[in-house]
Chain A
Amino acid sequence: MELFWQQILAGIATGAIYACMALAVVMIYQAIDHLNFAQGEMAMFSTFIAFQLMLWGLPYWVAFLITLVVSFIGGVLVDRVIFKPIHDAPILSHVVVFIALLAILNSTAGFIWDFTVKSFPSPFGSAPLFGSSLISAHQAGMISVTLLLLVFLFVFFRYTRIGLSMRAAAANPASARLVGVRVGWMNALGWGMAAAIGAIAGILIAPVVFLEPNMMISILLYGFAGAVLGGLTSPAGAVLGGFMVGVVENLAGTFIPVIGGELKLPIALMLIVAVLVFKPSGLMGRTVVQRV
């Protein structure tokens, strides 16, 4: 029984990271209607920036904050410089740009910091939490940081004018323009926030999976699975989906003998396929009806 609870908690802890990635994916999906395939590489690159800042001797939390700011600016720039000019281009152009971005970030990181696996510090330490074997301090830290982030985002979107404008821009761009919302800048803000959320996810997961240019590839897949499961139009759903994917993956890996550690990833992919077949709008998403 203890193993069961341990695995649930571990699932929630990694699920927290998937939830962050899913949230980042949903924010950009809301802004430009496409999945950002480069989301994982953006997060990885941010994590390397944090790594470099710490290498230069900055304390952990200072490096953490600077990384968030740099990632935010980077996200805004990606939107303004790359995606704004091709806003009306066909979907395939977007996909190609995403893949280009992915390849560029991946190989640039490899070029600067090389492909060897590096360890990354945890601010919470890896000791068991309160001496209990159920959950480690770092896992508890991942969960709390994610929950804090969620509360912050909830308050931001619910109670601030700029949050309201961002929701309006995502829900109905034409009407949002008619009340004076600068929709283009709201999209850029969405990109910036998504990049910063991705940076948090990367920095939190790096102590677990170790730092290297390919660290986020499978994590992004889980993030996609979480976003699709929860509904691509619902931030809350994406978070819930992220946590669920984490728990399901962990339990299946532990208790279904055939699956083990190696076959965990296909579970995420099977989840995506199953959701798309049986409930394409996801658990909490809304069905989009397009007028023609």
Chain B
Amino acid sequence: MSMLLEVKGLVAGYGGIPALHGVDFSLEEGGVTTLLGANGAGKTTTLRALCGMIRARGDANFAGKRLIGMQTEDIVRLGIAHVPEGRGTFTRMSVEENLQLGAMTRRNGADIKQDIERVYDHFPRLRQRRMQQAGTLSGGEQQMLAIGRALMLRPRLMLLDEPSFGLAPLVVREMFDILGGLNRNEKVSMLLVEQNASLALSLADTAYLLETGRIVTSGPAAQIREDEGVRRSYLGY
């Protein structure tokens, strides 16, 4: 399998204080890779560095294009959709306007209309609330909207930052089933950041463990899940 995303020696930080000290990982086309680790390990920072929201050094190649130094707006145009921590909803706009914004880089109006319907098929609850202000949705619905908005890009790669954050367990289950379906049926590759390790490992095929800005362990998700030592020292279950 070919690598869709290859990251080597990624260094990034905030205000001159580095949070990542040379992170290496790669992601297969069509795969789901998860970055695990405690609070402050650098998971979110990695995603933000990859889509140009913070400055970074090192190498990150996506389908042969060098991401480091590119503007966020241009990275999006390569087909990378970031579902950020906190969901990034446009709270004062309607659900439908949020979805339209997701397709802002695309031109064909008829295709866009069709894709909006497709998102509503995935998330029927969003269809019921299409004209409602996005800020009035529940946490789960806002997460669905964030994922729906990312899908409107027709992404090759989705960066998912804590999709389970603040959601009830049942909603989380539903959300991960949908993500799994998207990966299988629509062949969307995913880079998943999660606090909830067992959940992430159930969806991912490859896992990397981050500790204070470095990768400490990596391997197939099944293997990491079974590894007693890793589980006790890093995953805490």
Q: Is the CB of A174 within 8 A of B92?
A: no
Instruction: Report the minimal beta-carbon distance from B80 to chain A, rounded to whole angstroms.
Output: 9
Instruction: Report the Cα distance A182→B76, complex, angstroms.
Output: 11
A contact residues around B72 at 8 Å (CB):
177-178
Are the CB atoms of B153 and A179 closer together than 8 Å? yes
State the CA gap A172–B84 with chains docked (Å). Answer: 13
Residue from B53, B72, B77, B102 with most neighbouring chain A CB atoms (10 Å) = B72
Q: Is the CB of A180 within 8 A of B73?
A: yes
Instruction: Please determine whether A171 and B153 come into contact, CB atoms closer than 8 angstroms.
Output: no
B217 to chain A, nearest CB (A): 30
Please tell me if the beta carbons of B93 and A181 are within 8 angstroms of each other in the complex.
no
Q: Which residues of B contact A177 (CB under 8 A)?
A: 53, 71-73, 76
Contacts of B84 in A (CB 8 A): 174-175, 178
Does B88 reach chain A (CB closer than 8 Å)? yes
Question: B53 touches which one: A167, A168, A171, A174 (CB < 8 A)?
Answer: A174
> In the assembly, what is the distance between CA of A208 and CA of B58, in Å?
63
From 72 to 94 in chain B, residues with beta carbon under 8 angstroms from any chain A beta carbon are 72-73, 76-77, 81-82, 84, 88-93
Tell me what chain B mostly uses at the interface: helix, strand, loop, or mixed: loop
Interface pair A167/B105, CB less than 8 Å apart: no
- A133 → chain B, closest Cβ, in Å? 45
Would A172 and B104 count as touching, CB distance under 8 A? no
Known interface pairs A164-B97, A175-B84; A180-B105 also in contact (CB < 8 Å) = yes
Within 8 Å of chain A (Cβ to Cβ): is B149? yes
Given contact pairs A177-B53, A177-B73, A180-B73, A171 touches B93 in the complex (Cβ within 8 A):
yes
Count chain B CB atoms within 10 A of each CB in A165, A172, A180, A286 and give the residue with the most.
Answer: A180
Q: Output the least CB separation between B156 and chain A (Å).
A: 14
In Å, the complex CA distance between A179 and B149 comes to 8
A178 touching B89, Cβ below 8 Å: no
Q: In the complex, what residues of A have CB within 8 A of residue B51's CB?
A: 178
Shortest C-beta distance, B83 to chain A (Å), equals 9
Q: How many A-B residue pairs have CB under 8 A?
A: 62
The complex places the Cα of A183 from the Cα of B53 at a distance, in Å, of 13
In the complex, B101 has a CB within 8 A of chain A: yes
B88 contact from A164, A175, A180, A181, Cβ within 8 A: A175
For the complex, what is the distance from the CA of A178 to the CA of B82, rounded to whole Å?
7
**Residues of A79-101 contacting chain B, CB below 8 A:** none
Check if B45 is an interface residue, CB within 8 A of chain A: no
**B34 in the interface (beta carbon within 8 A):** no
Minimum CB distance partner of B107 in chain A: A161
- Give A162-204 interface residues, CB cut-off 8 Å to B: 164-165, 167-168, 171-172, 174-183
Knowing A164-B100, A164-B101, A165-B101 touch, does A180 contact B153 (C-beta < 8 A)?
Answer: yes
Determine which of B73, B81, B90 lies in contact with A168 in the assembled complex, contact meaning CB atoms within 8 Å.
Answer: B90
Contact B92 A178 (CB under 8 A): no
Residues of A within 8 A of B90 (CB): 167-168, 171-172, 175
- Contact between B73 and A172 (Cβ–Cβ < 8 Å)? no
A179 contacts B89, CB within 8 Å? no
* CB <8 Å contact, A172 and B76: no
Contact: A182 with B92, CB < 8 Å?
A: no
Assuming the contacts A179-B76, A180-B73, A180-B153, asked whether A171 and B92 have C-beta atoms less than 8 A apart, the reply is: yes
Residue numbers in B under 8 Å from A167 (CB-CB): 90, 93
**A90, chain B: closest CB distance, angstroms:** 16
Question: CB < 8 Å: which of B71, B91, B102 contacts A179?
Answer: B102
Interface residues of B in 86-125 (CB under 8 A from A): 88-93, 97, 100-102, 104-105
Are B92 and A181 in contact (CB-based, < 8 A)?
Answer: no
State which residues 46-81 of B face A: CB under 8 Å: 51, 53, 71-73, 76-77, 81
Q: Given that A161-B100, A180-B153 are contacting pairs, would A286 and B105 also be in contact in the complex, using a CB cutoff of 8 Å? A: no
Residues in B whose Cβ lies below 8 Å from that of A164: 93, 97, 100-101, 104
A21 → B minimal CB distance (Å): 24
**What CA separation (Å) do A288 and B105 show in the bound complex?**
29
> Taking the nearest CB of chain B, how far is it from the CB of A207, in angstroms?
39
Interface residues, chain B, with chain A CB atoms under 8 Å away:
51, 53, 71-73, 76-77, 81-82, 84, 88-93, 97, 100-102, 104-105, 149, 153
- In the assembled complex, 6 residue pairs joining A and B whose CB atoms fall closer than 8 Å, in A order, are A165-B104, A177-B76, A178-B72, A178-B81, A179-B104, A179-B105
New A-B contacts (8) at CB < 8 Å, excluding given A167-B93, A176-B101, A178-B88: A164-B97, A164-B100, A164-B101, A165-B101, A168-B93, A168-B104, A179-B104, A180-B153
